[in-house]
Amino acid sequence: MDSKKSKKADLESKKLLFFQVGTLLALLAVFFAFEIKRYERPHFDLGTLELDLIEMEEIPITRPEEPPPPPPPDASDQLIIVEDDVEIDEEFIIDVEADLDHRIEEFQPVFIEEEEEIVEDYIFQIVEDDPEFPGGNEALYRYLQSNIRYPVMARESGIQGTVFVSFVVERDGSITNVEVVRGIGGGCDQEAIRVVQNMPPWKAGQQRGQPVRVQFNLPVRFVLN
């Protein structure tokens, strides 16, 4: 069977030529490699960093200098003549016979205490002398026990407790401005107001020796037997 391969495509005959060309190119590359010059890289020394400690100098704070005050005016040497008919308001008495043993009376200041003005309409909470029921606290308790009538509604409902009543003792001892501060209901509040309003005149409270209006708080207790 005949081969269909072309003679131009046969590379076996050209193998020697390719080997010689490759060898030549390799020798040329080696030759040029040896001919290339090499330059040594210079060595740079950066050195060491040295820091010097610099002391901080204290800078004084300067303030603007104020100008000195102007000098006082010079005393005048001119003599001023005053006429004889000029009247002098103040008269000075000089004791020419006084000696060193003569004692001058010391000045003693006189202090005048201003009395506190007491407003008549002002109601005091705390005073020097408290108002008092005639006969004292025991007489006040006896008055409350003998005059309080337990309300029927409170008794049937079992209501008991303490009613706090506030009132004002006037300068003449009469009772005004009666009101309940804290109540318990069941008619006990109204009964406490009625008993307080019917109290006899009290001994008025005093402030700096004068009778004044004083607010008073009274507890009225309701207890079932």
Intra-chain end-to-end CA distance of the chain, in Å: 151
Phi and psi, residue 179, nearest 5° = -155, 155
Q: How confident is the model at residue 38 (pLDDT cuts 50, 70, 90)?
A: low
Pairing of strands 210-222, 123-124: parallel
Query: In the prediction, which pLDDT does 197 show?
Result: 94
The pLDDT > 70 percentage for the chain reads 60
- Kindly report, residue by residue over 174-197, the tens digit of the pLDDT: 999 999 999 999 999 999 999 999
Domain boundaries, the chain: 123-222
CB 187 within 8 A of CB 138: no
- Reduced DSSP (H G I as helix, E B as strand, rest coil) percent helix, strand, coil of the chain, to 5: 25, 15, 60
Query: In the prediction, which pLDDT does 35 show?
Result: 75
* CATH number of the 123-222 domain: 3.30.2420
Query: In the prediction, which pLDDT does 3 show?
Result: 57
The model scores a pTM over 0.75? no
Greater pLDDT, 44 or 38: 38
Record the tokens describing residue 106, joined without a space.
């010391």
Q: How confident is the model at residue 165 (pLDDT cuts 50, 70, 90)?
A: very high
For residues 186 and 156, give the distance between their C-alpha atoms in angstroms, rounded to a whole number: 9
Beta strands in the chain (DSSP E): 123-124, 161-169, 175-182, 205-207, 210-222
